[in-house]
Structure 1
Amino acid sequence: MVLLSQKKVEIVMNTLTEEQIYFLQHRIKLKKKSRWLQILANYKGIDINEKMSDQEIEDKLDDWILVDIKDGGYQKRPHKCDCGQALRFQYIIQNKAKGAVRYLGANCFENYLSLPSSVIKDVKKGMYSIDLERDEILLKHKKNLFYPLQAYLHLPLPQDLLDQYEIGIPLTDNQINLVERIHTTFEQERKLASLFQRLTIEQQQFVSKLNQKDRRELLLSIEEGYAESFLHLEDLSEYSETLQKQIQLNLPLLERQKQSVEEWRLAKKRETAFNALTLEQQQFILSLSKEEQTVLLDQIHKPLFYHYDSIKNLPLDDRIKQQVELQLPLLKEQMYQIAQAQNKVERLTK
């Protein structure tokens, strides 16, 4: 989308009421000032976040602040720059440290601030995007495209958005997306509240102590009807009391808890498999890397593919032969080496 011409902006603006015109112009000024403060704060390396108000950001700055942008109207130049040039758009800036106020046109605005070209570029880009939002609103108003916000008035919507709806100004696509995100969050919270009420008192007390993210995941798991009732407490004696209590209450485990329990079970299974081996087999396994030990112990009960007599005369590493002789499973790369050795011998005997 490209900006509307100033003439087209004026034509649509003239179809609005005075209240709507004031609201839209005031909104544009506030958004441009907010964007200016954010860009300047970022340039100055000042730490800000999305929860901070414009006033809080402004309080951190000791520099030129954008106070207002005045629009004299289509084909009119009622304002003046400090350099004497007649202006339609006048940028009013104030130096917080000295209190000095300057009335500037677009060119002097850029030159006076002595900011890097990259910062000026960001300012222009920010102002342009806000003007695009204005044009989006005007085009929607012209085409009578109004979002049915009345169906969402029960939601905790921003007051400026409600005010915009009340005076008959269409919402932008970004505002509509915000409404729908708030609606989705609201419905999820209502669902979670309903799931929470289905729990026993003891389960509710336990769930209430979880952080918001874990509580949400656990409650949604309950909706799916999933619980780790198959786990036995005596098997989890090494785990925290919290996890044991969770299972005792027949509450589902979180994904990270399930992964942790599964890793614990596999470790126990490997330990059992290792203890069942002969001393010679154990010593051989301990000579391997941790990764190789894990892979080998996970395959300990699988059928063996080779017997020692079938590979003892092949050109193989002694370790592979020893491993087969000890009746231990082979790693994939070892089996590949045996297959290669067999092919080599077959070619030589032909």
Structure 2
Amino acid sequence: MLSQKEVESVMSTLNDEQIYFLQYRTKQRKKSRWLQTLATYKGLDIDEKMSEQEIEEMLEDWVLVDIKDGGYQKRPYKCDCGQALRFQYIIQNKKECAIRSLGENCFENYLQLPPAIIKDIKKGMYLIDLERDEILVKYKKKLYYPLQSFLHLAIPQDFIDQHEVGLPLTDNQIATVERLHKQYEEEKKLASLFLRLTIEQQQFISKWSQEDRRELLLMIEEGHAECLFQTDEASIYHPFIKRQMELKLPLLEKQKQQLNESQMKQKRAKQFHALTVEQQQFLLTFDHEDQAALLDRIHKPLYYNHQSIEHLPLDARIKKQVELQLPLLKEQIYEIQVALNRVVT
């Protein structure tokens, strides 16, 4: 962070329009941070699309109206307590319409907010001052970003205004512009990929969500057109997926998972119906997760027979399960191993 003397030194080289923009931007961002912190503290439901005025109207409390800066080594303002100030915080109570002009110490004491909230507010204001300093340092070093090359993007207007008055963008602003540029280039690519599809394929995916369309088109670009599933496998439970496969469109990851789960359910159902009635009844005493785990192990070799565990100190259910020649869960196998070790020792 620049010292106040350094800030004043660089500010003295700006023209009136640049000074006004930088001071106004700093004040507005501090006010916005104040409102968001206060609204969050009070548990108000706000979103990024809401304007400052809308948030302010929801608050029946002290809101930041202005921050006045008297200049380096100057104290032209006064706190309501009488102390001379360089920085004066002007706050207004929305409910009582009262206005107070305060210094930093009285500002903290007057609000009667928890120390953590005051700390958060001050941290936010400090970070905004850091952004101002970053702009000033970049201005001094003539580090400008070529924003004119990206004006076709939906760039926030304050970025454009900042650029037009001759002030550099911050690293965070540049990252936002480059993210918008990346999105724009991807959308162009996706539009081109969409136009390569047949009319039937276009009509089929036109009603999909934007995210699903994006995933599918990128899969096509990467050559993932082949599908491990056969069309008839999806015919009964997934007519929509069947049509997608007929159109030779790749399946999304969630669709593959859906088909895999259906296949597993069908496989488990066949395995269940292949059991004896007594085995089925016993299996139904387990919860659904354990039933699935046991059915998945149905054709694996059995570790134990009834004679080998008959005299072990085990739960009767495990013995019955082995007697019925049903597979064991991992924790049951571990329990048998422990019992065997105890007998040996």
- Same structural fold, with TM-score higher than 0.5 when normalized by the shorter chain: yes
Please tell me whether the aligned partners of residues 314 and 341 of structure 1 are also in contact (alpha carbons under 8 angstroms).
Answer: no
Could you tell me how far apart the structure 1 residues matched to 2:171 and 2:100 are?
35
Q: Which residue of 2 aligns with 1:29?
A: 27
Could you tell me how far apart the structure 2 residues matched to 1:50 and 1:339 are?
58
Could you tell me how far apart the structure 2 residues matched to 1:120 and 1:45 are?
16
Q: Which residue of 1 aligns with 2:54?
A: 56
Could you tell me how far apart the structure 2 residues matched to 1:126 and 1:333 are?
52
Q: Size of the alignment, in residue pairs?
A: 344
Compared with structure 1, are the counterparts of its residues 291 and 44 closer, same or farther at alpha carbon in structure 2 (3 Å cutoff)?
A: closer
Q: Which residue of 2 aligns with 1:195?
A: 193
Q: Which residue of 1 aligns with 2:178?
A: 180
Q: Which residue of 2 aligns with 1:123?
A: 121
Q: CA deviation at 1:70?
A: 1.8
More displaced stretch, 326-335 vs 187-196 = 326-335
Compared with structure 1, are the counterparts of its residues 155 and 285 closer, same or farther at alpha carbon in structure 2 (3 Å cutoff)?
A: same
Q: Secondary structure at the match of 1:169?
A: coil
Could you tell me how far apart the structure 1 residues matched to 2:130 and 2:157 are?
22
RMSD: 3.2
More displaced stretch, 265-274 vs 90-99 = 90-99
Q: CA deviation at 1:45?
A: 3.1
Q: Which residue of 2 aligns with 1:299?
A: 297
Q: Supply the AA of the counterpart residue of 2:191.
A: A
Compared with structure 1, are the counterparts of its residues 105 and 233 closer, same or farther at alpha carbon in structure 2 (3 Å cutoff)?
A: same
Q: Deviation per CA, 1:116-159: give whole Å up to 9, x if none.
A: 43333222222211111111222222233333334433321111
Q: Supply the AA of the counterpart residue of 1:42.
A: T
- Identical columns (%): 65
Q: Which residue of 1 aligns with 2:162?
A: 164
Please tell me whether the aligned partners of residues 231 and 242 of structure 2 are also in contact (alpha carbons under 8 angstroms).
Answer: yes
Q: Supply the AA of the counterpart residue of 2:33.
A: R
Compared with structure 1, are the counterparts of its residues 343 and 142 closer, same or farther at alpha carbon in structure 2 (3 Å cutoff)?
A: same
Asked if 1:207 is matched to 2:177, the reply is no
Could you tell me how far apart the structure 1 residues matched to 2:76 and 2:263 are?
79
Could you tell me how far apart the structure 2 residues matched to 1:81 and 1:35 are?
23
Q: CA deviation at 1:344?
A: 7.9
- Structure 2 unmatched runs, 5+: none
Could you tell me how far apart the structure 2 residues matched to 1:138 and 1:316 are?
79
The within-5 A match list for 1:215-254 is 215-227=213-225, 229-254=227-252
Q: Supply the AA of the counterpart residue of 1:44.
A: K
Compared with structure 1, are the counterparts of its residues 269 and 72 closer, same or farther at alpha carbon in structure 2 (3 Å cutoff)?
A: same
TM-score, L = length of structure 2: 0.83
Of 274, 291, 302 in structure 1, the residue corresponding to residue 272 of structure 2 is 274
Could you tell me how far apart the structure 1 residues matched to 2:309 and 2:31 are?
82
Q: CA deviation at 1:64?
A: 3.2
Could you tell me how far apart the structure 1 residues matched to 2:338 and 2:284 are?
27
Q: CA deviation at 1:25?
A: 0.9
- Structure 1 unmatched runs, 5+: none
Q: Secondary structure at the match of 1:16?
A: coil
Could you tell me how far apart the structure 2 residues matched to 1:321 and 1:113 are?
71
Q: CA deviation at 1:10?
A: 0.8
Q: Which residue of 1 aligns with 2:72?
A: 74
